[in-house]
Amino acid sequence: MKPTKLTYGILIVIGLIAIGLIVSSLFKSIDKDVAATHTTASSEKKAHPNYPEVQVVTEKAHDKVYSMEIDYPQFQSKKLNKKMNAFVKMAKEDFLHNVEENKQQLKSQEARLAIRSDMQKFSDHIYSVAIHEKSCLHEKQCQDLSDIVIVDSKNNNYINQTEILQDTEQNRGTLFQLLKHAFEQSDKYSEHFSSKKLSEWVYDKDNNFSNMYLADESIVFQFDNNKVIDKEAEITIPFSKMQDVLTDEWKDMIRHESTEGSDNTENSKSTVNKENTRDNDSTENNKSTEDKEDTEDKQEDSAIKQEEKNSNSPSVNQEKHPSSNQKRVALTFDDGPHPQNTPKVLDLLKQYNAKATFFMLGNKVTANATVVKRMKDEGHELGNHTWDHKDLTKLGVAGIRREIEQTNEAIRNAAGKNPTLFRPPYGATNGNIEKIVGLPSILWTVDTRDWESLDPVAILNEVKSHTTDGSILLMHDIHTSTVNGLKSVLDYLVGEGYEFVTVSEIIKT
């Protein structure tokens, strides 16, 4: 059967369609190749400028609608690079996926991905790497993310932050106070800082503090945007102030690193410090020894503790004891007892036949019961400083009672007697609080500001400038610097003719 005209026509149409499809496919392929040529990419690896044993990878790429600039470190061990590589890989994939979905709306190179890394070296084999990602589809749609990796190149593994911090409820409270103090003192962050957000973050049971890393002489907390403030934030706290929230292993490690560093600086000053022990020379030498030999490793947390802001306002009337013509002064110590520093304070007081008053935190009493009993046995006065240094003006009746009664019970169990005085944290009190507490409320007349200066010389200067007959001096037995400066304070006051008595001997209660 011969093909008809209809058959020829159908074949021609099919042929034309096939040719059209082939041509279209070719043009699509060409367009794709042309588009590919519009993407420019580069990658290089070079030694880290500060740590040449580590390589830094720098990647750049851009096309018509986006740009990427990325840098991240690479260690010799592939195992140590896994977390950082995974972070970078996921960031790039998510970014390019978002670009692809929104490319019709994007203007020229409007979408941007920037990844940068900051590295700190804690020891010869421990590094902290903070990786920051900023991903923007356009100016008003940006995302900030970060990750922190602590690397142990010697043991070829990662160090978790929970291995560094001793995670207890009390330590979380201490950490909250340290961070709160740092935020409030920061010109950069104080205005928009939220204490409530910080508290929620610190006490979140799922918080493993993965935003923390080690620097040369401090611990750094890095907060993403809107975590506790409406911007990214970075808070640095010296090792000396973090001692009590660290595990024993890391206390020892930090002490070792600090001692090694001190061996390389001003050895002659250290020698002088060990040989001189008298008067103002002693005070200065103690400070230098503190700096060089890291004696503040045992220092109790200094920030529960932006202690006592209202420094010259005693809440009870003071008078000289009527039976004495000698000048009198009451030494008071807050925030203890401390397992190492408080016994040293007691030793010095005994040496000078001096009596003092200790305002103690209930949550530290039981663990240091023998120290508390020694205070009582040696004739010192015991005071209540609440359970864990809360601002009582912000608590209800039940909360105030709990803070006071738990502390009274702890002191009674340790010493065999109740405290006789009360000092409100931060000096914050009112009539209702004092009715609930049921003890004389004692502030101070001379704030040595030892919590602020951590400097024996500065402490002595405050004492010299402000002490008069009947003064109540505020100090903190949790600070090594206070212990180191106490001898000079005692020497000065003895030289000025003062007798050391308890607060109850200074005032009429």
Euclidean distance between CA atoms 296 and 448, whole angstroms: 18
> Residue 86 to residues 79, 81, 381: CA-CA distances in angstroms?
12, 8, 60
Q: Radius of gyration (Cα) for the chain, nearest Å?
A: 33
What tokens does 355 get?
């009596």
Phi-psi region of 105 (alpha: psi -120 to 50; beta: other; left: phi over 0): alpha
Q: What sign has the CA pseudo-torsion 233, 239, 244, 248?
A: positive
Strands (E), 320-441: 327-336, 356-360, 381-384, 421-422
Q: What sign has the CA pseudo-torsion 335, 340, 342, 345?
A: negative
Q: What sign has the CA pseudo-torsion 312, 488, 371, 254?
A: positive
The upper half-sphere exposure of residue 323, i.e. CA atoms within 13 Å in the direction of its Cβ, equals 2
Chain centre distance of CA 403: 25
Which one from 244, 476, 477, 479 is the annotated catalytic residue?
476
CB crowding 212-244: b at 16 or more within 10 Å, else e? bbbbeebbbbbbbeebbbeeebebebbbbbbbb
What amino acid occupies position 421? L
Which one from 334, 450, 455, 477 is the annotated catalytic residue?
334
Euclidean distance between CA atoms 105 and 160, whole angstroms: 42
Query: SS3 of 157, please?
Result: strand
**DSSP tally for the chain: helices H, then strands E:** 18, 17
Euclidean distance between CA atoms 91 and 85, whole angstroms: 10
Sheet with 218-223: strands ordered across: 212-214, 218-223, 233-238
Percent composition of the chain: helix, strand, coil (DSSP 3-state, to 5): 45, 25, 30
Is 334 one of the catalytic residues? Answer: yes
> Cα torsion for 212, 174, 429, 386, to the nearest 10°?
170
Q: For residue 483, which of 342, 291, 360 has the smallest C-alpha distance?
A: 342
Active site residues: 334, 476
